[in-house]
Structures are given as structure tokens and as C-alpha cells.
Amino acid sequence: MKVELVFIPSPGVGHIRATTALAKLLVASDNRLSVTLIVIPSRVSDDASSSVYTNSEDRLRYILLPARDQTTDLVSYIDSQKPQVRAVVSKLAGDVSTRSDSRLAGIVVDMFCTSMIDIADEFNLSAYIFYTSNASYLGLQFHVQSLYDEKELDVSEFKDTEMKFDVPTLTQPFPAKCLPSVMLNKKWFPYVLGRARSFRATKGILVNSVADMEPQALSFFSGGNGNTNIPPVYAVGPIMDLESSGDEEKRKEILHWLKEQPTKSVVFLCFGSMGGFSEEQAREIAVALERSGHRFLWSLRRASPLVFIPSPGDGHLRPLVEVAKLLVDRDDHLSITIIIIPQMHGFSSSNSSSYIASLSSDSEERLSYNVLSVPDKPDSDDTKPHFFDYIDNFKPQVKATVEKLTDPGPPDSPSRLAGFVVDMFCMMMIDVANEFGVPSYMFYTSNATFLGLQVHVEYLYDVKNYDVSDLKDSDTTELEVPCLTRPLPVKCFPSVLLTKEWLPVMFRQTRRFRETKGILVNTFAELEPQAMKFFSGVDSPLPTVYTVGPVMNLKINGPNSSDDKQSEILRWLDEQPRKSVVFLCFGSMGGFREGQAKEIAIALERSGHRFVCHVALMDGGSSHVALLKFIQDVTKNIS
């Protein structure tokens, strides 16, 4: 009887390569076995999926799924692939059912693809886990979950203590503060627990290890220790893919050195394709290895630095700082340097200056701030540079700052710079990113609908030879804009899109949006479903659009924004029914004449909705309301 298996690796080169190597090993070991690998496209690198293995063989087939919405987190992204995976398994099950000498025996899912177990259940197939990490960590994961489920002990509550745990798969007590960050993070801890519970529901776990390497852990999993609710654990490792895409000479040097060492004398440390460390952490590892007295080989990289470049101005600087804080809080392997361009002469306020000063003193290991030098004050207003020219003049300083940031130390150590995230008004800094050979992302502080409008107006001009500014005085002309639900009168377009002087400048900026690897927009899908549906479609004119909002800085300062006023607004909001309040904010530079403000007030009043409105009057009157939160990581394809 011939047996068919389905393998579903997690997107990511370290998982796809290991799973493929295991599948090859299985079909080579038994000619009755055939394997179909369902490959989920990587969110960050084509090489991690479509380009790794392309040619199916007699009993080893690859099915690369089409890409879907890549703006979500990894767990949601994998879960979104279930309909496509289900369709593939259904077709395969149908094909196998027509052959009397074959049967579909089960599905082997990656440790991060446990949601696919549901599909195995739907087709009455056995589900197995391929655990690409080691058996000791698998045991730690099970132990943490059993502490919570059986003893109601939440290990994340002990992250700042000296408490230690006796873990059955480890030979010594383990300090709680040394647990992986994902287990100490309140947001991700439920996911860790759910994944361990899913593992227990499978028919077996294939772990990338060998008994000689982890005798304590594999002795525990072999039974007799009261672990009856853990399925069989198969030590199938070490599974390795020896096809190298890196430095061939370096690879030969390493292998030559290894052959010269005594058998079983070398310790090997590898932390996965996403594992990175700060300088302090790497130093601790090095000291421990040195003191161990063992020969060792390690695959190590520093925490991947990102460079953030906000546009001058509170409304752009503050949100990007909040994005940076949330990213480093979420990913321990990420570090961010925010390069701050000072405001132009005459535009800086005391609030802005004090905020920048506070940032400079708040730098920490993985989030630092670098304020560039203020240019000499021009002699007269006649020599005042254009705003974009002003920012462009900072390129040399930005380049010098990044060069210091990426100074690797050893000559053969490549730069681990992950990329640039530049503000929507700092697109010229893409040139600096290109000099370093790293990708750029854009942070769009406005909303997705305006982004769509901006791109559509540029498309009309470049492709259709249609200049909307020619129709600014028309009372009847309306345009269909893909990200809007109804036609928009041209006379209601933002003035910057109707001004002959500014339109070419806007077009130059907009064209550069397409040079980025992705766009982070300060919004969320529920707020702008029409726009985000357009950007997530196959006809989107832009790279991947990530909804990372609403990003807000809740610290209010300044003479017109007292704590009492903030408390009053928040107290009023708390008293309103959920989803009942309209909020209007036009940015730090948005201002209206008295007549325009009255029109907005009348429209809000007639809408019948509760509302909070932040309006700056052009004559200088101003109030200030700030916003809240962000969600999402930027994972980079790091060379």
C-alpha cells in the first residue's frame, strides 16, 4: 500500500528548508511514501518560498500557494491561508481515493501552523507536528502550559523576579527572568499556551533533535514520567539543508576546521533566521562559551537595526516615535535609531523643542535618538529653502549617522542594517537607503483614503494626461476614486492637489512611494474598509500597505492643552456608547478660516452624531487632542 503525506511548513526560509529536507529524507527511506509540500508564501522574502525549491520530483511535489493579504501578523497570515490549503488537500484526497493501492495517511504541520490541524480533522486525517526547534524547548513549552492549566501559575508574572522553575526536560532549575520573551509578554502568552495545547492533540511530534544531544529531554518524552497526555515524540534530527547560498569560501573554511576537530568535541550554537542579539547579550554568550572550555561554532548576528526618519514637526515626529516604541517592545531582536531633522527656522515651538530634548535624554539600548545639527540661520527670508530642499540638505548628515550605526567591527562582518522607515515627506532619504543597499518603507501619517486619492490623482496625470488642477473652479466635475465609496467633487480636493505650484512636487513624492518595499499607514481596516480593500487587491498600484494605526501620543503638553482639559475630554468619551463618537483631526498643520470652521460645525451638528473635533483656526486659536496606539511589526529581508 502506498502512503501519501501532506507537509505544511511555516513561511520562512529556516522552516521551509528544514521541512523539505525532512520530506526528502522520508521519501528516500521508504519507496512507498510520497509527500506533497504545500508552501505558504513568505511575507518578507520571495527566496524563502518560491525560489528555494521549484522542481517537483517523482514522489516529492511542491505546491506554492498564491500570496494573500500580508499586512497582518504571522499567526493571522498563516490562518488566512486555510481556505487555499483546504482546497489543495481536498483535491489530493479526491485523487488518492481513485487509486486502490494508495491512501492519504496524514498531515504534518509546522510548529507555527497549528491552525491547519483543523483541516486534518475535517478530512479525518492524523495530524503531526514538525518541531523545528529542540526537544528541551518543546519540554519547556509544555511545562509552562501545564503550570498555567493545572496550577494556575502564569510565568509572565515572574519576569522581574529571581524565581526558578524545575523543568522536566532540563537538568537544572531555570530562572523565570530568562524565559523567552514570548512567554513573558502578556499579549503573546495566550498564543504560547494555545499552541502547546494544540501539540497535545496531535498523533505525534517530530522534533529536530537527536537523543545523544538531549538525553534528559528525550528520556522524559520516551515515557514513564507521568507525561501520558503528550503524544509520541520522534527525534528525527539533526535535519539540515546543506545547500549554501552564502559565502562559499567561508563555508569551506568552517567545514575544513570541523573535520580537524575530535569527534563530539564541538559545541554549535544557532538561533534561527530571526535570532539576533544586542552587543551586551552577544558578549555574555561569548564569555559563557569561553569559560566552558569547549571548542565552539556559532551562527550569530546582532539585533537588526532599523533607521526611522520622521519629517520635522510634532504631528509627524510623535507618531513615528510611538511606532518605534511599540516595535521594540514587541520584538526583542530589533533595535531602532530615530534620526531627527530639526524644524526650519521660524517653525519650531517651545513644545516641540522640549519634546525633542526629552527624547535625547531617553535613549536606551534598543531605541536611540540622534538629533541632527541645526543649519545656520539664513540671512534673510529670500534665502529660505523650499521645505523639500531643506530636508534634502540633511542627506550627508543622515548618511554619516548611519555609517556610525552600521560599523561592524570585524572586517568580514556584513552590515546587519535592516532598512529605513521614512516619513511621507522624507522620500528623498530613499537615496541614502539605496546607498547602503537596504530596503525602504514609508510611514504615511495621514489616512489610507487620502493616500489612495493622492496616488489616483498622480495616475490620472501620468497615465491619462489629466490635470485635476484645471478643474478646481468647476461646480459639476466629480471623479471616481477607487478608495472612496462615492464620486468626489474636484473643487473639494485638498488645495495642495489643486495648486499648480505644488502639484509637480506632490507628483515627484508620490512616484517615489512605489520604490519602497511597503507603506505603513496610520489607520486600521475597520475605519477605512473601502480603501484597505483596494490596497489589498491584486490591482493595487502600491507595494504592501500595512495598517499600523491608530498611532497616538497621549502625553499632552503646552499652554493650551492642560491635564484638566484632557481629563474632561476622556471622561466625556468614557460616558458615551461604544462606537458612537466621530473624531475629526486635521494634523498639526491643518487650519481653517472662521467660515470654514463654521461649515464643519454645521455639518457635524446636522449629522446627529456625537463628535470630538480638533480644529486650529488660522488666526492662531488652537486646541489640542491626541490619539492612541499602534499594532504591527516590520520584518525585514535582511541580507
Please indicate whether residue 624 is annotated as part of the active site: no
Q: With both helix axes pointing from N to C terminus, report the angle between 529-536 and 448-464 in degrees, rounded to the nearest 10.
A: 50
* Number of Cβ within a 10 Å radius of residue 452: 25
Helix (H) and strand (E) counts in the chain: 20, 24
Please indicate whether residue 15 is annotated as part of the active site: yes
DSSP designation for 498: T
Find residue 17's DSSP bridge partners: none
Unique residue bearing C-alpha cell 474636484 = 490
Q: Which amino acid is at 28?
A: A
Say which of 46, 58, 79, 110 is annotated catalytic.
110
Contact 203, 109 (CB under 8 A): no
Buried b (16+ CB within 10 A) or exposed e, 555-594: ebeeeebeeeebeebeeeeeeeeeeeeeeebeebeebeee
Buried b (16+ CB within 10 A) or exposed e, 173-194: ebebeebeebbbbeebbeebbe
d(CA 404, CA 399): 9
Say which of 15, 333, 456, 624 is annotated catalytic.
15
Say if strands 174-175 and 164-165 run parallel, antiparallel, or are unpaired.
antiparallel
Please name which of 309, 319, 269 lies closest in space to residue 292, comparing C-alpha atoms. 269
Cell numbers given for 24: 526528502
Contact 205, 131 (CB under 8 A): yes
Identify whether 504 is preceded by a cis peptide bond (ω within 30 of 0). Answer: no
d(CA 197, CA 103): 28
Chain centre to alpha carbon of residue 9: 19
Say if strands 60-64 and 102-110 run parallel, antiparallel, or are unpaired.
unpaired
Q: With both helix axes pointing from N to C terminus, report the angle between 314-330 and 350-360 in degrees, rounded to the nearest 10.
A: 20
What CA–CA distances, in Å, run from 51 to 7, 41, 62, 173? Answer: 18, 10, 12, 43
Residues serving a catalytic function are 15, 110
